[in-house]
Amino acid sequence: MTRSRLSRSIMIMAAVVALGACAGEPMPRDTASYADDASINTNVQAAVVGVPGVHANNMQVNTYEGVVTLRGTVEHQLAAQNAIQAARQVAGVKKVDYDIKVGAQP
């Protein structure tokens, strides 16, 4: 009985290890993807900061696989709308997500 339990335990552990190896991590991104995102991010930052009512210190821009995320605070609703539109018009941007608050800036 003990030998049977030991064999069964070893088989279960082997299966767990094998299945864990299948899960793995997603494919790593290549250098070109990082460079593309960095270029898009820089261009979006320049476009967004050029919008009246948006200040560089109050707006974060992040890009991952062409998806841009804007987070921060702007002076008024029109500034938020214009910042989102400016980001969408940058070459290479696939989508713009945003969490922009309107009002007093810190």
Give DSSP secondary structure letters for 59-103: EEEEEETTEEEEEEEESSHHHHHHHHHHHHTSTT--EEEEEEEES
Of 14-18, 22-26, 79-83, 85-89, minimum mean pLDDT range = 22-26
Q: Does residue 105 carry a pLDDT above 60?
A: no
Query: The tokens of 27 are what?
Result: 């494919």
Confidence of residue 23 (pLDDT cuts 50, 70, 90): low
CA 40 from centroid of its chain's CA atoms: 13
d(CA 82, CA 68) in angstroms, rounded, equals: 15
